[in-house]
A and B are shown apart, each in its own frame.
Chain A
Amino acid sequence: MDDRVLVNNILAGDQLAFRMLIEQHQRLVAHMIARLITDDRDREELCQDVFIKVYHSIGTFKFDSKLSTWIATIAYRMGLNLLRKQKRQVAEQDLDSIAFMVGKEDREFERQDYSDFVQSLVMQMPLPYRTVLTLYYLEGFSYPEIVKITEMPEGTVKNYLFRAKKKLKELSQPYIGNEIEKL
């Protein structure tokens, strides 16, 4: 269903239309929140709160972006607010200053599943890098859309994406070597 029709139906009080909106966007919200918040209970509750906020604010949606971009913006802001409330570090941190844990032992990565390995590396990254990676790769948002959601300049978004990918490649090299040998 077209965004405009869906929003108009919700504004007219159609509960089924709102249910459809949730089902269409719950993966996006779950991914965004999962990359920001670590506690599973907080995650689920926050996802609910995001959609409640969407329900109450849908009348202010101006159709100047895709509905998914608008919902992602709400999810991102609410995630940041929760982190600030929990006094977690939201401020920008330099990627190079982080000591990534790649395993308890030197060869730990060999026993780990590659997916888990990459996900654990992403979760150790500073918040803006995690967010940009999620929006670009997982949700397929374009640079202008990521700019709109995060309010970061486009140059910063590109820089974060480039540096995050470079770091991930660098850290996963030993694992990749292992994978190539297996082939």
Chain B
Amino acid sequence: MNDRNAFSEDHLERELRKSLKFELPADFSSQVIQKIEADQQREAARTKWIYLAAVMGFVALSVVALIIFIPAEAKSQMLQIVGWSIPLGLLVVLFQYLDQKFVKKRIVVG
């Protein structure tokens, strides 16, 4: 009887220690990493859109505030300022682009 008990206990414990039949695919780690990367890209895109929406909202609110609160005679001056600020802004962007493309790259290589 004791032998039978010991046998049944050993047999059972051996079975309980055996791996289950459910297995994950061989490329499981790659799948997880791909999913993380996709999540990160989605999150980055979401952040970019939120940032853009915030900037646009701020600009729109500023324009509305200016239209409502600035007196009529100052508006013509303002339009002049806007007229000058557009080419100035473009020049700044162009300068940054040229700086990035030719000067900084050369510094890094040097």
Interface size on B, residues (CB 8 A): 27
Main secondary structure of the interface of A (DSSP, over half): helix
Main secondary structure of the interface of B (DSSP, over half): helix
Kindly state the separation between the CA atoms of A47 and B25 in the bound complex, as whole angstroms: 11
Known A-B contacts A169-B9, A176-B11; the reply to A30 vs B24 at CB < 8 A is yes
The reply to whether A176 and B4 form a contact with Cβ atoms under 8 Å apart is yes
B-facing residues in A51-106 (Cβ within 8 Å): 51-52, 55
Kindly state the separation between the CA atoms of A7 and B4 in the bound complex, as whole angstroms: 48
Q: Please give, as numbers and ranges, the residues of chain B lying within 8 Å of A34 by CB-CB distance.
A: 20, 22
Contact with B along A127-162 (1 / 0, CB 8 A): 000000100011000000000000000000000000
A-facing residues in B1-46 (Cβ within 8 Å): 4, 7-9, 11-13, 15-25, 28-33, 35-36, 39
A22 within 8 Å of B (CB atoms): yes
Kindly state the separation between the CA atoms of A173 and B5 in the bound complex, as whole angstroms: 9
A2 within 8 Å of B (CB atoms): no
The reply to whether A137 and B13 form a contact with Cβ atoms under 8 Å apart is yes
Q: Please give, as numbers and ranges, the residues of chain A lying within 8 Å of B36 by CB-CB distance.
A: 52, 55
Contact with B along A4-30 (1 / 0, CB 8 A): 000000000001001100110011001
Q: Total number of A-B contacts with CB less than 8 angstroms?
A: 78
The reply to whether A48 and B32 form a contact with Cβ atoms under 8 Å apart is yes
Kindly state the separation between the CA atoms of A168 and B13 in the bound complex, as whole angstroms: 10
Could you say which of B9, B23, B35 contacts A48, with CB atoms under 8 Å apart? B35
> Can you name the residue of chain B whose Cβ is closest to the Cβ of A48?
B32
The reply to whether A138 and B29 form a contact with Cβ atoms under 8 Å apart is no
The reply to whether A169 and B8 form a contact with Cβ atoms under 8 Å apart is yes
The reply to whether B12 and A115 form a contact with Cβ atoms under 8 Å apart is no
Known A-B contacts A26-B24, A173-B8; the reply to A137 vs B16 at CB < 8 A is yes
The reply to whether A115 and B24 form a contact with Cβ atoms under 8 Å apart is no
8 contacts between A and B (CB under 8 A): A19-B30, A19-B33, A26-B24, A52-B39, A114-B11, A115-B15, A172-B11, A180-B7
> What 8 pairs across the A-B complex have the smallest Cβ distances?
A137-B16, A34-B22, A22-B29, A176-B8, A118-B15, A51-B32, A19-B29, A34-B20
